Amino acid sequence: MDNGYAVEVENLTVKYGEEIALEDVSFKLEHPSFLTIIGPNGSGKTTLLKSILGLIKPEKGSIKVFGINVLENATKARHMIGYVPQRERISTNVPIRVSDIVLMGRLARYGPLTVPSKHDMKKVKEALELVGMIDFWDKKFSNLSGGQQQRVLIARALAVEPKMLLLDEPFSAVDIPTQREILNILFNLRMRENITVVLVTHDVNPVIECSDKIMILNKKLIAYGKPNDVIKDEVLLKAYGAAVKIIAHEGICYVLSGDTHA
Amino acid sequence: MPNILDILLSPFMIRAIIAVVLIAFVASTAGSFTVYRGLTFLVAGVAHAALAGAALAILLDMYGIIPGFPEVLGAAIFAVITALVAGYVGRKGESEKMEVAIGVSFALTMSIAILLISMIKEYAVRAWGLIIGDILLLTEKDLLLLTVTTLVVIFTTLLFYKEFVFVSFDMEGATAYGVHAELYHYVMLLLIALSVVVVLKGVGAILVYAMIVAPAAAANQFSKSTTSVMIWSFIIALFGGIIGLIVAALYVNVAPSAIAGLIVTASYFIALIVSRK
């Protein structure tokens, strides 16, 4: 049962056909905390998120979310999670208003033919307020900027009242000020709302200060721990296969060359 | 010139008017989800598969292998198989992969269709009738089939409306929020396939594409919500169909489905230009 851990992964191995996507990954994540997962392309970051959601059946290993075994009870485990998929995977062909999108995740849990209650609408409002998008209630999603769309998707995840948010590349294709704004929102959720935040990203630098834990993944778990214990030359070399420069500023280490898309 | 009202009130015209209304419902339900999912090519692929199925049914009937095998059943079987194959390839939500599968199925079923039609020479006109279609020649049985299918399509769409929208918007997210996305994905494709088969008889394999895709595509250019797309695609398809029938009533030699096809496709281009401003 719930033992203070948001996620417990043990000996997780995932294969796509013959190809190994994740090999023998084990870690525990306390609740609430802010975890950033980095690694080169194809290193299994998204696979790990999907495994936690129970969208992928692992070859072996176990995954628990707030003490619930995902392999045995994916539905119950998913109720703890608000998921924000990669924005590129979302269709802009469907004309939907912002409020309808935020409502979507909540209503999905009730099954077909349900109408939103006053309580549902209240939660949608609160979620949009948390991400600063309440003024866009009636706007068409496809007309919003990338950063605004991202915030709406975060609101959709918040509207289901999750204990944990999983975000896949929330900073892709958004400019730096927007990146900052989104990061602020996520950091506040962690600090004020006690929501565990797990995000996958290419560029670790902006996230370092906010992260309680950093995970470096390259099919195997290369490193996992507090930012300053993880951001080290030899660790990054192992993950990316190339020397990556690190500088220290105010006690925090920064990666100079960033992701090389190895 | 005969009195237009007399023509419009004749039994074949009344059947055609009912068919146009039903087709407009199909265009607004199955049509809008075809457009949302970027699967307009599926309609063309399924239509040509249906043609091959109908040709096979005629062949089985003609050679006495299965006497009386209904064309529409043959068409439906082929259409459903094509939709399921495309659906399997794109079950994770990748429309691009489905396009390729549909393209290959298209080539395969067209080859089968042409082969079969060449084998049933005397009866080929029955198969060719499906390519062109004729809304004025619908029998009561055709109309009944169209009515039942349309009701099934409307009922299923209304029942799973929110799930269909979610899956069209974001299949992966839908699954993560507890929707059986893969199941709804297949249900949507089946509805599109069945819609194509029944509309085929009225407007033909070539124009079924126009009638199902163009009204929703036009409405999607200017609509702010999915409800608005449904209403507007219904209006556009109905308008096109009725004008087609009126023109056909005035000028006997004009094919009503062609006029309808011209109107709905023109509405798409107009919507495209106007919404760019």
Q: What DSSP string describes A42-93?
A: TSSHHHHHHHHTT-S--SEEEEEETTEETTT-HHHHHTTEEEE--GGGS-SS
The rounded distance, in Å, linking the Cα atoms of B264 and B256 is 12
Give pLDDT, residue B2.
61
**B252: nearest Cα among B128, B130, B136:** B136
How many domains does the structure of chain B reveal?
1
Secondary structure class of A258 (helix, strand, coil):
coil
Pairing of β A60-65 and β A213-218? unpaired
Residue with tokens 């190895």: A262
Structure tokens at B167: 């899956």
**B197: nearest Cα among B205, B189, B187:** B205
Helix axes B226-250, B181-222, angle to 10 degrees: 70
Contact B130, B54 (CB under 8 A): yes
Residue with tokens 């079924």: B208
Q: Pick the most confident of B57-66, B119-128, B159-168.
A: B159-168
**pLDDT above 60 for A253:** no
Q: Pick the most confident of B17-31, B50-64, B108-122, B133-147.
A: B17-31
Q: Check if B178 contacts A (Cβ < 8 Å).
A: yes
With CB atoms and an 8 Å threshold, state whether A104 touches B177: yes
Give pLDDT, residue A111.
81
The rounded distance, in Å, linking the Cα atoms of A259 and B15 is 65
Question: What are the chain A neighbours of B224 within 8 Å (beta carbons)?
Answer: 95, 97, 140
Contact A196, A31 (CB under 8 A): yes
Give every CB contact of residue A1 below 8 A, 6+ residues apart in sequence: A67
**B229: nearest Cα among B214, B209, B244:** B214
Give pLDDT, residue B93.
74
The rounded distance, in Å, linking the Cα atoms of A89 and A97 is 18
The rounded distance, in Å, linking the Cα atoms of B40 and B218 is 13
The rounded distance, in Å, linking the Cα atoms of A74 and A64 is 10
CA distance A138 to chain B (A): 9
The CATH number of residue B120's host domain is 1.10.3470.10
The rounded distance, in Å, linking the Cα atoms of B163 and B264 is 28
Q: Where are the domains of chain A?
A: 1-78+164-262, 81-161
The rounded distance, in Å, linking the Cα atoms of A2 and A197 is 17
**pLDDT above 70 for A244:** no
Stated length of chain B: 277
The rounded distance, in Å, linking the Cα atoms of A21 and A56 is 11
pLDDT tens for B62-109 read 888 888 888 889 999 999 999 999 999 888 877 788 888 888 988 999
* pLDDT (average), residues B213-226: 94
The rounded distance, in Å, linking the Cα atoms of B103 and B110 is 11
Cα separation of the two ends of chain B: 44
Residue B82 class from Cβ within 10 Å (0-12 exposed, 13-18 middle, 19+ buried)?
Answer: buried
Give every CB contact of residue B144 below 8 A, 6+ residues apart in sequence: none
Q: Among A53-62, B95-104, B220-229, which is the least confidently predicted range?
A: B95-104
Structure tokens at A122: 């209240």
Give pLDDT, residue A261.
46
Give pLDDT, residue A252.
57
The rounded distance, in Å, linking the Cα atoms of B262 and B207 is 10
Measure the CA angle with vertex B275, ends B272 and B277; round to 5°.
Answer: 115
User: Between residues A134 and B249, which one has the greater pLDDT?
Assistant: A134
Q: Which domain holds residue B16?
A: 4-276
Q: Among A86-95, A215-224, A241-250, which is the least confidently predicted range?
A: A241-250
The rounded distance, in Å, linking the Cα atoms of B107 and B89 is 17
b/e sequence B117-139, b meaning 16+ C-beta within 10 Å: beebeeeeebbeebbebbbbebe
Give the confidence band of B129 by pLDDT, cuts at 50, 70, 90. confident
Give the confidence band of B1 by pLDDT, cuts at 50, 70, 90. low
**Domain A1-78+164-262 fold:** Rossmann fold (3.40.50)
- Residue B254 backbone dihedrals phi, psi, to 5 degrees: -90, 135
Write out residues 227-246 of B within 8 Å (CB-CB) of A.
228-229
With CB atoms and an 8 Å threshold, state whether A112 touches B220: no
Mean pLDDT score of chain B: 89
Give pLDDT, residue A248.
56
Helix axes A118-130, A146-159, angle to 10 degrees: 140
pLDDT tens for A71-111 read 999 889 999 999 999 988 888 889 999 999 999 999 988 88
Residue B166 is nearest to which of A83, A97, A104, comparing CB atoms?
A104
Residue A185 class from Cβ within 10 Å (0-12 exposed, 13-18 middle, 19+ buried)?
Answer: buried
- Residue A99 backbone dihedrals phi, psi, to 5 degrees: -65, -35
Write out residues 68-107 of B within 8 Å (CB-CB) of A.
93
The CB density around residue A242, as the number of other CB atoms within 10 Å, is 11
Give pLDDT, residue B205.
82
| A-interface mutation test, from B167, B170, B188, most A Cβ less than 10 A away | B170
The rounded distance, in Å, linking the Cα atoms of A215 and A148 is 27
Structure tokens at B62: 């003609």
The rounded distance, in Å, linking the Cα atoms of B116 and B140 is 28
Contact B232, B26 (CB under 8 A): no
Give every CB contact of residue B151 below 8 A, 6+ residues apart in sequence: none
**B203: nearest Cα among B265, B250, B152:** B265
pLDDT tens for A126-143 read 999 999 999 999 999 999
Question: What are the chain A neighbours of B169 within 8 Å (beta carbons)?
Answer: 90-91, 94, 96, 101, 104
**pLDDT above 50 for A239:** yes
The rounded distance, in Å, linking the Cα atoms of A2 and A15 is 29
Residue A113 is nearest to which of B159, B177, B178, comparing CB atoms?
B159
Give pLDDT, residue B98.
85
* pLDDT (average), residues A189-202: 91
**pLDDT above 70 for A8:** yes
